[in-house]
Every structure is written in structure tokens, then in C-alpha cells.
Amino acid sequence: MIAVSGMSAVTGNREPDRAGLLTMLYTMKLTRALEERIERRLYRQGKIVGGVYVGRGQEAISVGAGMHIRRTGDPARDDVVFPSHRDMAVFLMQGITPRRVLAQYMGRRTGPTRGRDGNMHMGDMACRLVSFISHLGDTIPVAAGCALTFVMKGTDQVCFAFFGDGTTSRADWHTGVNLAAVQRLPVVFICNNNQYAYSTPLSRQMAVARVADRAVGYGIPGDSVDGNDVLAVYDAVGRAVTRARAGGGPTLVEGVTFRMTGHSAHDDAGYVPAATLEEWRGRDPIVRFTAHLETRGLLDRTALADLDTRIEEEIDAAVEGAESDPWPAPEECLEGVWHA
């Protein structure tokens, strides 16, 4: 188990402006609230037809990294993102609305996959999001190939590739990272090291202490940061993005965090020691970041309460919308296997 020392002050050598800081808080809280609604209400009400995978406790990684994704609306300039199934925040930041997320979970016609796939398996090239699939690591060489096109075209675009600690044991992760390293491709590899892959703890996944230790085997920089400190993630990913845009090749950035839930909604995570969970509960990234902003005078109680209210309303409206969204027509099952 990786121990992250106590409730250290939120740190970072560089950080966004005040508006950016508040966006980060909003996105983390929206992510948490949306996932709680999905996992703890809609799933239990039987409204989610398949599995539910959330990133509770890990929001700082997708948000801290996601702040660096270039989003101008110009496909020739924008970065491309390969999220994992625990990076809800990245989907939201790229412009997938909560309603579309819910429609996806509920199998509706209006979700990004039109009911063809569920949960976080969604992509939308208009949002520069490439879909995750269940086979872990598959998106890693795909991200390398995407980055290859940026090199061919001579742009300074970057690929953001997210994955968990367990994924780093997979063949495709290895082949993709090595290809990116050899060809010096502009990819930032971001590991949500939440220390459990389903029931398998980190020590059963790798014989190195940290995922970032794997970087040396590829000849690329590896950086390990407190993944519950959104500004630390922001700082580390920022350095990696700068390097990638400048032609310095890929970086492996690891955010050390903890999966504050089961593998999926059905899993009570009974195999995780209660004391460990309790310890990590004290490091909640949202609580920490909120306190940090309050200490700096960037946020007061009223603003915080308003933010929570706004998020609840936003989610209520999204749920209502998604529930009224149509199901796909049965015969749509047959469409679109090939280009029409």
C-alpha cells in the first residue's frame, strides 16, 4: 500500500487563476454528485440497466489533468483524450453533458452510443474523446497512433491517455507506451493509481513501489504525485504537457489515490481493509481543496452552498431529461456495423 503522508497542504508550483480554481472545484463536485446519483440512487432504483463504475475519491486526477486539455473547437488544434472508466470529470470537461452521461447509462437513444454500449464506454470525436473499451490498455497504442498523426502534421497537439494501476500489467499498455517512447510521441500517460484492480491490490499487480517506476524501462520520465491533491496533479501534468508540446516525448504521470468504492456498484469491496478506507477518507480531495480555497479566501460558505445547490439542480434536470429520452428502436440493433 502506498502511504501518502497525512493532510499535507495542497501544493503546486503553478496553478490556474481564480476562475480556473473554482472551475476545478465545481467539476470535482459535479463529478462526485453525478456519480453518487448514478451509483447510489439510479442504480439501486433499477434505472441503470448495466454496470456502474465510479471514480469516487479520484476526482482530483481527472480534473487536475483535464485542465490542461486544449479545447478551442478547432480539430486541428485541439488535444485528444482517452479517458478510463473512472474519469467522469474528463467527459464532463470535454463537453459531454450530465444528461448525455445519464442517457448513456440508461441505454437511451440520446446517449453517445445510442444505447449500443453502457456506462463509461462512450466517445465522441466532436468532443475529442475516444471511447474506452472493457479490454484494459487497448486505448494506449490507439493514443500513440493518434499522437503519431500530430507529428506527421507538425502540430503541437497532445494526447491525454488515462488508465488505472491494473492496466499497466497489460500487453497493450506496454506496446503502446514503448511505441510512444521510441517515436517520441506527444502523449501524456496518466495513471489513476487507486491501488486496487477489482480485488487485486497493487502489491499483486507489480513488484515496483509506484507505477511511475515503470517509466525507466521505457526511457521516459516518470512522475508520481499525490493524486488527492488537485494542484499537485495540475502541476505535474502541466509539466508533462509542456514537454509533449515541445517535442520532448511522452511522460508517465501517476496520481496516487484510493478507490473509495467497490470495483463497480455491485461490489462491497469487503476485501479492502476498513482502516485503509478510513485513512483515505481523511484525505478526500474535494474536502481538501475546498478547505484550501477557503483558507486562501477564494471561497466562502455562501458561495459553497450556492455551488452545491446549483449542482443538485443541474443533476435533477439531467435525470429528468434522460428519463424522458427515448429508447432506441429495436431494429436499430442492425444498423451501422459498417459504413452505410
Partner 1 sequence: MALTTYVEAIRQGIWEEMERDDRVFLIGEDIGIYGGAFKVTEGMLERFGEMRVIDPPIAESAIVGAAIGAALMGMRPVAEMQFIDFISCAFDQITNFAAKNRYRWGAGVPIVIRGPAGGGVHGGPFHSQNPEMYYVHTPGLKVVAPATAYDAKGLIKAAIRDEDPVLYLEHKYLYRRIKEELPSEDYIVPIGRAAVRREGRDLTMLTYAAMLYPCLEAAEDLRREGHEVEVIDLRSLLPLDKDAILTSAKKTGKTMIVHEDTRTGGIAGEITAILNEEVFEYLDAPVLRVTAPDTPVPYSPPLEKFFLPDKDKILATARQLLAY
Partner 2 sequence: MKRGQAKATIDLAGLYPGPARAIVNPGLTRDQLLEIHRLLRLNRIVEEKLSALYRQGHITGGLFSSLGQEAISVGTVFAIRPDDLLAPMIRNIGSVLARGVTPRDLFLQYLARRDGPTRGRDGTLHFGNVEKLSLISPISHLGTLIPVMAGAALAVRMRGEDRLALTYIGDGGTSTGDFHEGFNFAAVLRLPFILVVENNGYAYSTPVPRQVAIASFAEKGPAYGVAAESVDGTDVLAVYAATRRAADHARRGAGPTLLECRAFRMRGHAEHDDMHYVPKDLIEAWKDRDPIDRFEAFLVAEGHARREDLEAAAVVLSRGVAAAADEALAAPLPEPHEALGGVLCEPGFEKPWWPA
What minimum distance in Å lies between the beta carbon of 5 and partner 2?
22
207 versus 334: smaller Cβ distance to partner 2: 207
What minimum distance in Å lies between the beta carbon of 250 and partner 2?
9
Q: What are the angstrom distances between the C-alpha of 213 and each of 92, 208, 226, 237, 313?
A: 30, 6, 15, 17, 43
What minimum distance in Å lies between the beta carbon of 121 and partner 1?
7
Query: In sequence order, what DSSP letters do the residues of 227-291 get, joined into one string?
Result: TT-HHHHHHHHHHHHHHHHTT---EEEEEE----S-SSTT---TTS-HHHHHHHHTT-HHHHHHH
DSSP, res 42: I
Q: What are the angstrom distances between the C-alpha of 191 and each of 185, 236, 305, 327?
A: 18, 12, 32, 35
> Which grid cell is 267?
461490489
Dihedrals φ, ψ of 253, to 5°? -110, 125
What's the CA gap between 141 and 194, in Å, rounded?
22
Q: Which partner, partner 1, partner 2, none, binds residue 144 by CB below 5 to 8 Å per kind?
A: partner 1
What minimum distance in Å lies between the beta carbon of 252 and partner 2?
10
What's the CA gap between 130 and 35, in Å, rounded?
20
Q: Which partner, partner 2, partner 1, none, binds residue 206 by CB below 5 to 8 Å per kind?
A: partner 2
Instruction: Say how many residues make up the chain.
Output: 340
Site for partner 2 in 228-247 (CB under 8 A): 246-247
CB-facing half-sphere around the CA of 170: CA atoms within 13 A: 18
- Binding mask 147-186 toward partner 2 (x if CB under 8 A, else -) reads -x--xx----------------xxxxxxx--x--xxxxxx
CB atoms within 10 A of CB 215: 22
22 versus 148: smaller Cβ distance to partner 2: 148
**Using CB under 8 A as the criterion, which residues of the chain lie in contact with partner 1 when the complex forms?**
80, 112-114, 116-117, 121-125, 130-131, 133-135, 138-152, 159, 171-172, 174-176, 178-179, 182-183, 336-339
* Of positions 75, 219, 273, 282, contacts partner 2 by CB under 8 A: 219
Q: Which partner, partner 2, partner 1, none, binds residue 131 by CB below 5 to 8 Å per kind?
A: partner 1
Asked if 139 touches partner 2 (CB under 8 A), the answer is no
Asked if 1 touches partner 2 (CB under 8 A), the answer is no
Chain residues that interact with partner 2, rule: CB under 8 A: 148, 151-152, 169-175, 178, 181-186, 203-209, 213-220, 246-247, 249
